[in-house]
Amino acid sequence: MCDSPACSREHVPPRNLFPESRDVDGENYRRNLITVPSCELHNSGKCHDDEFFMVSLAGIIGNNSIGYRHKFGKVNRAIRRSSNRLLDQVIIQKKEIHTVELPHNRFIDVIWGTPDAERLSKCIDRIARGLHYHHFKSSFHGSVHVHLGFLKHDQSNPKTFGRFLKRKTEIELQGKPSYGENSDIFFYQVSDKDQFGLFLFRLCFYGGLNIYAAMWPSDASPPHNLTMELINRGIKTIVTLGDEEYEFN
């Protein structure tokens, strides 16, 4: 993240995303976690973001059973400690709260609302830079463009773009290895660089939450993106990917 001397090591992604053994029947999901060198500012200075990130991801519908168990364990304890302030930071605009009945006369509250996507993206920016250091043994200099693939959008263009990006990533990462000792909680894949020097990390949390981090090195030379300009101007645009078409506007 910076050129300051490293005085500690930081977990990438944060360690608190991985359940403690007491919450998952003694299973050890904190083995061989990825760490990178860190200065004091970028390690201890982001503890509140780590907790925010954990609460944001662990309870999302679509997670595997480990994510749910983590939510009912460490995540709920963090929410109670903060007197629900953490939940208000994660969901900045609540739309609906539903009570869902589970077997054995159990109930849970499901909140449907707008997350703090900007803060989530900043968390992913740091994680992507850490993974770059871990994977390539060098610091990343450039910009990181984050797409939160698990979010549901009301508007047509973001919905279509999400489907397009998912399919394009599937094609580019086909046959690429996955990295991460505890893949039920987290693993990542990385694409090859394209002709302009750009590449992509796919981050997968709790078996189903996909986040994409497009890496734009400072020495890359991407072309002028006419397609995005047409879309942003509201002009009907059709993008073809293989035998599939994606219509915008």
Q: Is the pLDDT of residue 86 over 90?
A: no
pLDDT at 212: 96
CB crowding 147-179: b at 16 or more within 10 Å, else e: bbbbeeeeeebeebbbebbeebbeebbeeeeee
Q: The pTM is what?
A: 0.90
Q: Is the pLDDT of residue 45 over 80?
A: no
Grade residue 62 by pLDDT with cuts at 50, 70 and 90.
Answer: confident
At 238, give phi and psi (nearest 5°). Answer: -115, 125
pLDDT at 41: 80
For residues 177-206, give the mean pLDDT: 94
pLDDT at 48: 86
Q: Which residue has the tokens 């035998």?
A: 243
User: What six digits make up the tokens of 44?
Assistant: 């201890």
Distance CA 215, CA 128 (A): 8
For residues 199-228, give the mean pLDDT: 90
What is the SS3 assignment for 172-234? HCCCCCCECCCCCCEEEEECCCCCCCCEEEEEEECCCEEEEEEEEECCCCCCCCHHHHHHHCC
* 9, 40 contact by CB (below 8 A): no
